[in-house]
Structure 1
């Protein structure tokens, strides 16, 4: 295996792990929402994320008449799902490009290189392995719930020490929200097209650069 490829894979994995840990850290902007009103009903047209081209978009009226606490709760879900979706898209692209860990993933000697990309991987990995993944996610969630306020304060302190103004903090939060929203749509599109015809990168095909998805599996 090319050493350069292995090093690139390690760097990408470390970056993904750091992002994965951040997925369980709260968005500090949510604390500001909760502080603004703990009981009063309010509109949310000027909150972070209500930005062009759609502005405040709530076609199902989920937030109509809701409190600031409920908004903060839903925003936390949105940020977390967006972060996880960004990891999912990154993982999909890396594995489609052929990135795999070296060696085996179980005592039977099955290699990582034998695991396909996308939904097909779930039918290849043993149930015990998938259970370990979900158990690890659960442990992370439990740990986060215990240290939630501490993590939020630490994130805020780091941004302040970096010299970020309130405007810059809000700008970065808005960027993160948009990236997360795009990633949620992205991974949904990849999964949908894989289920339709096994070609998640349909856009590449339309542009004349098709991806030979899961070739050899």
Structure 2
């Protein structure tokens, strides 16, 4: 496919701050945007799952049961011990440095297939590939705004799901 220096299917890029001075810089920024969008989509899903009351079985450090943790987001995070937070940082670091990286140059920024799993993707037309890339970009952008809004509402003390109702939810 050979990714162009533009938004797929749109043409020229919109860069009011002049950050993408070269195609390589644009590709790096696009990769970071895709990655943060994917993380935000997972964060929204995790926030909604925790908000529904679902919990893992088992215990955290200091024999704290997952089921005893109430709330979501910052409220739940505040109940973790330093060992629990260290484990989270270690797991995220491991995924970032060893797993979720591009070892083989992909067709587009954020293509982490590393030369594998071509069966489904290669069957799409260039137009469908561009459309799917744009769908992921837009969903990621929406998720980044969504998780930011959820975090803001939580810090303001109102429900992230129904902003008109006061917390704790």
- Report the CA distance between 1:199 and its aligned residue: 2.7
When the two structures are aligned, how many residues end up with a matched partner? 161
Which of 56, 59, 69 does residue 16 from structure 2 map onto? 59
TM-score (norm 1): 0.65
TM-score (norm 2): 0.81
1:99 is aligned to 54
2:108 is aligned to none
2:147 is aligned to 187
**What CA distance in whole angstroms lies between the structure 1 residues aligned with 2:41 and 2:156?**
22
User: Structure 2 matches for 1:111-122, cutoff 5 A?
Assistant: 111-115=65-69, 116-122=71-77
Which of 113, 121, 126 does residue 166 from structure 1 map onto? 126
Q: 1:72 to 1:175 in 2, by over 3 A?
A: same
2:116 is aligned to 154
Question: After the TM superposition, which parts of structure 1 deviate over 4 Å for at least 4 consecutive aligned residues?
Answer: 155-158, 212-215
Q: Please say if residues 157 and 168 of structure 2, whose CA atoms lie closer than 8 Å, have aligned partners that are also in contact.
A: no
**What CA distance in whole angstroms lies between the structure 1 residues aligned with 2:160 and 2:101?**
38
User: Structure 2 matches for 1:37-116, cutoff 5 A?
Assistant: 44=5, 46-48=6-8, 56-63=13-20, 66-106=21-61, 108-115=62-69, 116=71
- Report the CA distance between 1:154 and its aligned residue: 2.0
Q: 1:201 to 1:56 in 2, by over 3 A?
A: farther
1:196 and 2:156 correspond: yes
Q: 1:156 to 1:69 in 2, by over 3 A?
A: farther
Q: Which runs of 5+ in 2 are unaligned?
A: 106-112
State the Cα deviation string for residues 13-56 of structure 1 (Å, max 9, x = none). Answer: xxxxxxxxxxxxxxxx7xx33xx5xxxxxxx5x422859xxx94
CA root-mean-square deviation: 2.6
